[in-house]
Structure 1
């Protein structure tokens, strides 16, 4: 059996590492089991082209170099999808895979699932069935189209199963396997625990902040972590400026705020004349985009996380980090407090953020582990593909 798996952007990288490892383990056990071998090719579309946001993840997670890099780069959604489809079609025609495996909800997920189906190649979607209900999110469109086309839909939670059934997906196409990103978390937790927070800050602080001393943080220090990149939060000054004011005038008075800053967010802060305020704010530590291990270490020790990242919502759930999700909806409701998680939706309304911030600080860490978020999801994914149709 030949499988091509596709990654396009950083959210995919943490998910593909355990999948590749599970294939390797399967092939090592062929002799006693008599199972068919899997030939695997990794295609990187190059949607994230910045070295700090792409190649460093491959190195740190032990992901082998992609067999093929399409080098699509930046562009509009239509440009990325169109260029990916043109390039990926040639790969599929040449390699003739039995399966194309796509992950998550990035543009590569949509482009490669459409291309494969037009060539009558079976498609497996890992992390199927997530729904935010927000059609203004490009990711939601990617999810809907990919799930409609996929032959095998591997879901991270039972809520996702129900979403697919309501949309008319035949039950035999759906398999609940758990959350593959938690495989990566569990595989790296022990290694990451030994990282120095002070060293992470010193290594990754923006050049503009090097002239002032970083807050002295150790394993017992109290600090907040912020990540923010979605257009709904950063593309309008009337939204971004109040968030920055809340950070600099309130949160940073309680504790240091560590902010690995996304290139898009930096660009908009500069455009709106807010960059100098962010750079010079007391107790606000701006970092370049950081690697998976460094981000996981910050999350493991944070008193609170403020984020619009879906993946960090999931990590906070398992680690127990109080999480203020800077969105009005989420495709991961299993991570919310009402479903036993650690996250609260606060949107970008400062009054609500302030209220939930105070509540979260009083609550503290409450780790939760949804069903099958056990570090063994990748093995179940490979097994589901091998057993398809049996």
Structure 2
């Protein structure tokens, strides 16, 4: 018989990259010597790739809450939520999250990816699922594991979405699936357009707020609140690994929907529950999000400084004002050279290559957090200018 492992070969281009000094992945971080900085390869560099937007992963209160929970409840729960792995802490976090986001109920799971997979039972055989072209891989996996007919609409193209809704079988249920803040480009979904179409066609709206919950809106509730349309969001998923500075995730929505998922979502039913340390850390972070809006204000001000600085350097920056910006390089090797050049300048950014982005759209993603000072943002801009001059001009995200 053919060796089943014979397929386990990287493409030739990837093999060459892996063997080169330009390989941009799995770089181990050795420490955190200062705010907004990490140590890699024994060097102190500026972290410009983290999604820890509110800089809560290193907040003393968050770390203390996690440590106390470990001492009191152990390092793990060794069981699924449905059997023996539910903690009182989980239920407290669920109650506070539901109240915070304006939903009836919430279910806490162990990762943000898992929160997406928990949606699978919502995508039934009598449904059509209309997903933005740029939704996260975890949401696509949930769509493929579900049984709904999947249709993709062009990114934020409401004309295309309207056409897909118009030709959908009226006897089927319709669900529109989008991210609130898109993870690669940092742009926002057109929630006003989606909500209007959903109302006309009796469709449900599901938003993944992995990157925007905690960051956007007057109270930090995400893209829905930012647009003044939080009530138009039927189901909202979040992760704790961005603004909340720890690990875990949750899905929130109407009580009967969450109860249904508790008893039918295999991703949650057959997985060990979120450890106490992460749960306590997320609870503490949620309290900080609710009571310290200045953190959001600080990172969004820094984001504006970054974006205006990139415009001054000649980049055509799209509107949005979020802390994440992607610079489209195009060619994979050139993108890795740009990434390596930034690292030489003391900047750790993200190289986004296919399949994370479409073919021919390799890009450098930079993110800033509330920990970054104005001087550090200027340092990032200076490094981008230097490397652009060395590697050659590139375009910003289209």
The TM-score with structure 1 as length reference comes to 0.32
Bigger relative contact order (CA 8 A; separation at least 6): 2
TM-score of the two chains, using structure 2 as the length reference: 0.32
